[in-house]
Amino acid sequence: MAAKKTINQGVEWNYSPALESTSHVKLKSKYDLYIDGKWVKPQSKKYFKTINPANEDVLAEVAHANEKDVDLAVKAARKAYRNVWSKMAPSERAKYIYRIARLMQERARELAVIESLDAGKVIRESRDVDVPLACNHFFYYAGWADKLEYAFPNRKVEALGVAGQIIPWNFPLLMAAWKIAPALAAGNTVVLKPAETTPLTALKLAEIIHDAGLPSGVVNIVTGYGDTGASIVNHPDVDKIAFTGSTGVGKIIQKAIAGTHKKSTLELGGKSANIIMDDAPIDQAVEGIVNGIFFNQGHVCCAGSRLFVQEGVAEKVIEKLKHRMDSLIVGDPLDKNTDIGAINSKDQLDIINGYVKIGNAEGAEMYQPKCKLPKSGFYCPPTLFMDVAQSSRLVQEEIFGPVLTIQTFRTVDEVLQKANNTPFGLAAGIWTDKGSRIFNLTTKLRAGVIWANTYNKFDPTSPFGGYKESGFGREGGLQGLGAYLKMN
């Protein structure tokens, strides 16, 4: 791919391509289902293709599990729970979880490259964020496995049984880790379904789990589409559904399990406010805005997709933001210079472009830096919309792409009203020099996670989850462990 240009203080720079090698990556041309410690051909006899969204090349064919396949996986998980996993000393369970973490670290480079190939995310992020954080989740929860009675003092805790887990395509390996690690540490067995556009790192994780010698059936990976997910949700012998994805599917799941014994945690959409007060450190805030909305192409449930800037500094912030956007490199996810990679799928690109159209039709002012997008693959330049009304669909709905809306405000009360005026409540960011302002705003914003003078920081010890239509239940930390336990 040709070198790309970036502008710095009026000088144009050319970066030579710095492509990550794919030579060490081993992918099979066809993947079956990982059930009961074996690779099993799907009873559906169906396979689907997963592509690289950066160039539309087919990476592999992957099994499309049907109801019978899911039933086989749930039976394997139940048998492993009853006969092996629930009987094993917790300190032994911990060793397996540690071993998975160590093997993931050993194969970190391969996992990062496959994640970038399958999902379109930039290699710098999969290498430095997704994979290390995924390992950390296994390390962190391994530590709790034999200390459950200390984690929840004076409570009698017990595993739930079989956990059905359905994950999205924005952080494929990381979401698998968020789901599997606490479930195993709490003593459950698992049936996990990765998203249809990004199944490969979960299948690699199945290989790692196999190499770690985890007893058969403790973790089962079934690939497929929404119907496969629905088969997990509706299976009568699943004790818990853990779902991350769209609010629409979250609602379907909640209806489907109403009245059953199934517990659930739902981590759904977001439309998070990133608030810049007039005393904020402006340059740092601009970096925080960029990180908040352009990290992972904006495919982030907690993305800071609504920017609120106090009037006195609005002009300056917007000018600096545009200047910073001019230097962002959009292109090949495997190039270490790239800041914004490929949009995960054609469907998602269509959704984003649909919102861009709506913004323009509503008369909002749009800004996109001039950048050449690759000819094949799915790409969207970083985009700002200014002069947007609070009622605009761009402000109210989750776009899940590199599109930021900007609104201004005068007073704290005004920004609180605007920031909270959304069906979602996942995250927020506040930029100010004053500690008292931070405490005042954090107590009044309806959001599960609030960052102050930073954005998109994650740590396995820290619980994550939402209010309102962003779902319920927490993942990460002790709260994430508790979500996989019965407590008496």
| Chain residues that interact with Mg ion, rule: CB under 5 A | 50, 118, 197
Q: Which of 267, 397, 398, 475 is catalytic?
A: 267
Q: Which residue, 454, 450, 55, 94, is CA-closest to 270? A: 450
Strands 4-8 and 38-40, how do they pair? unpaired
Strands 471-472 and 263-267, how do they pair? antiparallel
Question: From residue 398 to residue 427, what is the string marking binding to ligand NAI with x (rule CB under 6 A)?
Answer: x-x---------------------------
Using CB under 6 A, which of the segments 27-35, 56-64, 65-73, 188-196 binds ligand NAI? 188-196
Active site residue 315: no
Active site residue 365: no
Residue 226 touches which member of Mg ion, ligand NAI, none, C-beta under 5-8 Å by kind: ligand NAI
Does residue number 471 form part of the binding site for ligand NAI (CB under 6 A)? Answer: no
Q: Exactly one of 172, 245, 333, 448 binds ligand NAI (CB under 6 A); which one?
A: 245
Distance (Å, whole) CA 235 – CA 261: 12
Distance (Å, whole) CA 76 – CA 211: 18
Residue 289 touches which member of ligand NAI, Mg ion, none, C-beta under 5-8 Å by kind: none
Strands 219-221 and 273-276, how do they pair? unpaired
CB of 146 to ligand NAI, least distance (A): 32
Q: Which of 20, 125, 301, 469 is catalytic?
A: 301
Distances (CA, A) of 263 to 240, 254, 348, 485: 5, 10, 30, 10
Q: Which residue, 470, 435, 434, 478, is CA-closest to 449? A: 470
| Footprint (CB under 6 A) of ligand NAI, residues 284-303 | 301
Closest to ligand NAI by CB, 234 vs 479, is 234
HSE value, Cβ hemisphere, 13 Å, CA-based, for 35 = 21
Q: Exactly one of 25, 151, 157, 252 binds ligand NAI (CB under 6 A); which one?
A: 252
Using CB under 6 A, which of the segments 114-122, 264-272, 287-295, 384-392 binds ligand NAI? 264-272
CB of 49 to Mg ion, least distance (A): 9
Using CB under 6 A, which of the segments 64-72, 190-198, 335-343, 459-467 binds ligand NAI? 190-198
Using CB under 6 A, which of the segments 32-40, 101-109, 214-222, 268-276 binds ligand NAI? 268-276
Using CB under 6 A, which of the segments 64-72, 90-98, 224-232, 286-294 binds ligand NAI? 224-232
Does residue number 351 form part of the binding site for ligand NAI (CB under 6 A)? Answer: yes
Contact 266, 104 (CB under 8 A): no
Interface with ligand NAI: number of residues (CB under 6 A): 27
Q: Exactly one of 163, 202, 230, 416 binds ligand NAI (CB under 6 A); which one?
A: 230
Distance (Å, whole) CA 41 – CA 64: 10
Coarse DSSP helix, strand, coil percentages of the chain, rounded to the nearest 5 percent:
40, 20, 40
Count CB neighbours of 128 within 10 A.
12
Question: Which contiguous run of DSSP H or E holds residue 250?
Answer: helix 247-257
Residue 118 touches which member of Mg ion, ligand NAI, none, C-beta under 5-8 Å by kind: Mg ion
202: its two tokens: 């979960």
Q: How far apart are the first and last CA of the chain?
A: 59
Closest to Mg ion by CB, 36 vs 118, is 118
Distance (Å, whole) CA 257 – CA 66: 19
Residues forming the active site: 267, 301
The residues that touch ligand NAI, with contacts defined as CB under 6 A, are 166-170, 193, 195-196, 225-226, 229-230, 233, 244-246, 249, 252-253, 268-270, 301, 348, 351, 398, 400
